[in-house]
A and B are shown apart, each in its own frame.
Chain A
């Protein structure tokens, strides 16, 4: 019996209970202060006998090399409703990476199986994945997590509460391995207390309320919790294998057990090591076969026979047999491969505005399709003047709000959109997108009008004196001149910045664009040595809540005031104390992390964004146009999803349901 998955819209708690269907129910209930606001989501299991598997596995089961499919699947597998239709097994998915540390492409296509997952639409809801339910207490300090029963690692060994205990106590809590703990799993600067209830149930008790915990579990970082199998990884720890570690260390040729552990079990989600050890068991749809080691030209992944998801027809996922990912020297090679029909699905590295025409010309020849998706970023070009500049004169100039307003008015955003972004997008400041629940019109649209008169009026209010060349003079009587740092390798903002700087020159501000290597950019920024920087504006959708980078000094990626951001992220231990409005925002944000109630979160977020609008920290140019992916015409279930990082694209839209139509 197959019960239709009642996803995705189930706002009402009572109605969401799929009563009488006999289905297993997964629930995430995190009560809040205001109301018991719970999200209930039902996931159903097909009748055990109905499960089907890939033909290649049929053969292995017959030969007795593999247990039957019902024994491999958990009692209530996660049932995924394919976006278009139920698919058929087989085929190889070819894609490409660029260079030797492009591991996040692997993460993005095959590496996202956290305890809870985002829904496919990325409405901000989280749905059960490896966990059947995550239930919080009233003040969001104690979370009870129930795992699906009968989950297995890719080597067939059971997955259970012990693996999570291993993660919290032995990895995150290991001072030798991770002196600072793991940020996303901590609250009040401390790791939660782990308590095992039974083999599939455990509780986490946090020091301080942590209302955002379920969302953190579903975000990219949450993958870390279920990446390391206790039965495998514990052998590399002296605490579990006192006598054997030295031997293993010698064999691997490393100097310490921590090095050995990282080499074998990666620890971090965004490292090459995660894709270098074919022995490490995983919970993901495909497992590594040819690893991503230095010098590798081809990385392959093969089907995980113990994968825990099935489609609505009871077929075990994934549909596609294996992945072949070529390692390319540069992006242009990858573009050529797509045009030659050697790639089945790709978005990373190739989906720029300018390449679109190239693909459009090759659609017929290479049997391709272009699938458009929304862009979760809120801005093509965020220009951050350094409000915490080391030079007191520049600091004074950049902190002059009239000066920043004048600069904003001086930019003809529509002309930039037409020239650099082929007319895609809308004039926009550093603010969440219209589609976001946190849309704030004032923050988004203030000072975006193009008016040289208003620009000069505002700039005259700040610094009216000019030198003989027509450039404005600062408070010290010297010409105001500053460099805008840009990384040419990233994004399309090189062109837009070039144009912005020209507009500023026209109103007498001697700004210059300086292109720098990515490493140098980060160096400058981390040392607070930059005048002004340009970056993509992230946090345009619900992720504004988790990474409010450009809405207040949140961390060291808040490029307009890195020391203030560091101050907040370190809890006041490092960096520089920010002024009162920013501190108010920080207080509000601390409250957000305590509440799980989305309405309350939105209310607090609105206050933060209102202050951001008053302060006008950064100057934005325009919203990015849609992004796109290029895939074979017959590749099914390619969902036109938003492109983002917190919601890793495309894997969070269920790449395991991709299939090749005959």
Chain B
């Protein structure tokens, strides 16, 4: 027998994890909790990638999203080949796509594309391109990837009805789709938090005024309001500015429901023992709100926001229907999908629906991340 068991006189082993947990800050606790949500982790990586694409779209897209090529209307996607045969028949590294032979079918009035094995379009990284403006700040003449010979056809995701590269359009669409909606959501969030918080925390006459204002705003019918807005917009504004303005106005209306919920949370928390205790301890109002009360409704806010962003992305398309949303020539996922809404695209050009995949991925990722954040932020949840 050897002394394999712990000597009885040694102190009981300290649970290091429990100790760390006890001393960790709230944010660190959230991060640990979040890390365990695998889907949320994967989704955050995806969201980070999407954001990267949105930020660097000019550099990442092989072409200008509005550059059109009459010869390649409705061209199907090209397959990317990485290797080529050399003269001896051996494989060599040579990324390329095959060109198309194009003929026009007279009765159907459409272009027919046949892959031309003989015509090779070499593709590479950091290729020269038409000069373009990066973030409107400086001019670049290099793209991340593209055809080595400027002007060669390259449609990895096919071309639309005007022969515009779908891949480039989706990449550019990422920026608009992921940014414009966010502005509206953020504005709603700030307004809802501040006004709902004031209303619930102080109560009394200020609560009364804010609640009556909310009721007034809620009673406005939205459709006539939108139509009125459309007519009221100065018509010499560029379309993007008009849309931005409309999202801001919509969020000026949309903050009300969030404010109501926040007010409710404040009302109920105000009377909780720990808040009274903090008050009696002489904590400042600021500390009471942000240190003691906020953590109990952060999870709710996160859930609200993570649902609002995808809703905003989807709303963009709905608004377009009234002639108020984004419209061509602006490129967003909603606009791209709207352009694909016809029998012709379904029957003969299914690749035009690729932006739909982008929407699904982005919306799912946002929802998963929101889910993970909510779980992590909820102090009452035990796992």
Contact of B383 with A by CB under 8 A: no
11 cross-chain CB contacts under 8 A: A360-B105, A361-B347, A418-B71, A422-B111, A488-B327, A488-B328, A495-B161, A502-B66, A514-B235, A514-B327, A515-B327
Q: Which of A295-352 contact B (CB under 8 A)?
A: 332, 335-336, 339
Using Cβ atoms and an 8 Å threshold, which residues of chain A touch B250? Answer: none
CB distance from A336 to the nearest CB of B (A): 6
Using Cβ atoms and an 8 Å threshold, which residues of chain A touch B69? Answer: 419
Closest A residue by C-beta to B335: A515
- A370 and B107 contact, CB distance less than 8 A: yes
Contact of A7 with B by CB under 8 A: no
CB distance from B66 to the nearest CB of A (A): 6
**C-alpha spacing A531/B235, complex, angstroms:** 8
Contact of A353 with B by CB under 8 A: yes
Using Cβ atoms and an 8 Å threshold, which residues of chain B touch A516? Answer: 230, 323
- A513 and B328 contact, CB distance less than 8 A: yes
Contact of A354 with B by CB under 8 A: yes
Using Cβ atoms and an 8 Å threshold, which residues of chain A touch B347? Answer: 358, 361
Using Cβ atoms and an 8 Å threshold, which residues of chain A touch B109? Answer: 353, 356-357, 360, 422, 424
Closest B residue by C-beta to A333: B343
* A interface residues with partner B (beta carbon < 8 Å): 332, 335-336, 339, 353-361, 370, 415, 418-420, 422-424, 481-483, 485, 488, 494-495, 498-499, 501-502, 512-517, 520, 523-524, 529-531
CB distance from A397 to the nearest CB of B (A): 13
- B322 and A482 contact, CB distance less than 8 A: no
- A419 and B68 contact, CB distance less than 8 A: yes
* B interface residues with partner A (beta carbon < 8 Å): 66, 68-71, 73, 104-105, 107-111, 161-163, 230-231, 235-239, 242, 322-323, 327-329, 341-344, 347-348
Using Cβ atoms and an 8 Å threshold, which residues of chain B touch A502? Answer: 66
**C-alpha spacing A335/B111, complex, angstroms:** 21
Contacts A418-B70, A420-B162 given: A332-B343 contact, CB under 8 Å? yes
Using Cβ atoms and an 8 Å threshold, which residues of chain B touch A530? Answer: 235
Residue of B237, B322, B344 near A358 (CB, 8 A) is B344
- A482 and B236 contact, CB distance less than 8 A: yes
CB distance from B110 to the nearest CB of A (A): 4
**C-alpha spacing A481/B241, complex, angstroms:** 14
CB distance from B278 to the nearest CB of A (A): 55
Using Cβ atoms and an 8 Å threshold, which residues of chain A touch B231? Answer: 520, 523
Closest A residue by C-beta to B104: A423
Using Cβ atoms and an 8 Å threshold, which residues of chain B touch A359? Answer: 108
Contacts A420-B162, A481-B236, A512-B238 given: A357-B343 contact, CB under 8 Å? no
**C-alpha spacing A482/B342, complex, angstroms:** 31
Contacts A418-B70, A498-B328, A517-B230 given: A354-B344 contact, CB under 8 Å? yes
Using Cβ atoms and an 8 Å threshold, which residues of chain A touch B68? Answer: 415, 419, 499
Using Cβ atoms and an 8 Å threshold, which residues of chain A touch B70? Answer: 415, 418-419
Using Cβ atoms and an 8 Å threshold, which residues of chain A touch B348? Answer: 357-358, 361
**C-alpha spacing A236/B136, complex, angstroms:** 68
- A356 and B162 contact, CB distance less than 8 A: no
**C-alpha spacing A516/B242, complex, angstroms:** 12
- A339 and B162 contact, CB distance less than 8 A: no
Using Cβ atoms and an 8 Å threshold, which residues of chain B touch A494? Answer: 328
- B328 and A339 contact, CB distance less than 8 A: no
CB distance from A656 to the nearest CB of B (A): 29
- A357 and B110 contact, CB distance less than 8 A: yes
Closest B residue by C-beta to A514: B239
Closest B residue by C-beta to A494: B328
**C-alpha spacing A499/B242, complex, angstroms:** 21
Using Cβ atoms and an 8 Å threshold, which residues of chain B touch A336? Answer: 343
Closest B residue by C-beta to A626: B109
Closest A residue by C-beta to B322: A517
**C-alpha spacing A497/B227, complex, angstroms:** 25
- B162 and A360 contact, CB distance less than 8 A: no
Using Cβ atoms and an 8 Å threshold, which residues of chain B touch A514? Answer: 235, 239, 242, 327
CB distance from A334 to the nearest CB of B (A): 10
CB distance from A627 to the nearest CB of B (A): 12
Contacts A360-B107, A512-B329 aside, 8 further interface pairs with beta carbons under 8 A come to A336-B343, A353-B109, A357-B110, A359-B108, A415-B70, A419-B68, A422-B111, A523-B231
Q: Which of A482, A498, A501, A530 gathers the greatest number of chain B CB atoms within 10 Å? A: A498
Q: Which 8 A/B pairs are nearest by Cβ-Cβ distance?
A: A418-B70, A360-B108, A517-B323, A515-B327, A419-B70, A357-B110, A357-B108, A335-B343
Closest A residue by C-beta to B69: A419
- B163 and A419 contact, CB distance less than 8 A: yes
- B162 and A422 contact, CB distance less than 8 A: no
CB distance from B148 to the nearest CB of A (A): 25
Contacts A358-B348, A499-B162, A514-B327 given: A483-B66 contact, CB under 8 Å? no
**C-alpha spacing A524/B341, complex, angstroms:** 28
**C-alpha spacing A628/B322, complex, angstroms:** 30
Using Cβ atoms and an 8 Å threshold, which residues of chain B touch A358? Answer: 343-344, 347-348
Residue of B162, B235, B237 near A529 (CB, 8 A) is B235
**C-alpha spacing A502/B323, complex, angstroms:** 22
- A422 and B110 contact, CB distance less than 8 A: yes
Closest B residue by C-beta to A529: B235
Using Cβ atoms and an 8 Å threshold, which residues of chain A touch B341? Answer: 332
Closest B residue by C-beta to A501: B329
Contacts A370-B107, A420-B162, A523-B231 given: A357-B344 contact, CB under 8 Å? yes
- A515 and B323 contact, CB distance less than 8 A: yes
- A355 and B343 contact, CB distance less than 8 A: yes
**C-alpha spacing A531/B238, complex, angstroms:** 12
Using Cβ atoms and an 8 Å threshold, which residues of chain A touch B344? Answer: 354-355, 357-358
**C-alpha spacing A248/B98, complex, angstroms:** 75
Closest A residue by C-beta to B239: A514
Using Cβ atoms and an 8 Å threshold, which residues of chain B touch A513? Answer: 239, 328-329
Closest A residue by C-beta to B348: A357
Using Cβ atoms and an 8 Å threshold, which residues of chain B touch A529? Answer: 235
**C-alpha spacing A424/B107, complex, angstroms:** 12
**C-alpha spacing A420/B323, complex, angstroms:** 22
Using Cβ atoms and an 8 Å threshold, which residues of chain B touch A483? Answer: 235-238
Contacts A481-B236, A531-B235 given: A354-B107 contact, CB under 8 Å? no
- A422 and B236 contact, CB distance less than 8 A: no
Using Cβ atoms and an 8 Å threshold, which residues of chain A touch B323? Answer: 488, 515-517, 520
**C-alpha spacing A370/B242, complex, angstroms:** 43
**C-alpha spacing A520/B238, complex, angstroms:** 16
Using Cβ atoms and an 8 Å threshold, which residues of chain B touch A422? Answer: 73, 104, 109-111
Residue of B110, B163, B239, B329 near A356 (CB, 8 A) is B110
CB distance from B135 to the nearest CB of A (A): 14
Q: Which of A520, A529, A530, A531 gathers the greatest number of chain B CB atoms within 10 Å? A: A520
**C-alpha spacing A22/B247, complex, angstroms:** 76
CB distance from B133 to the nearest CB of A (A): 9
- A332 and B162 contact, CB distance less than 8 A: no
Using Cβ atoms and an 8 Å threshold, which residues of chain B touch A423? Answer: 104
CB distance from A270 to the nearest CB of B (A): 24
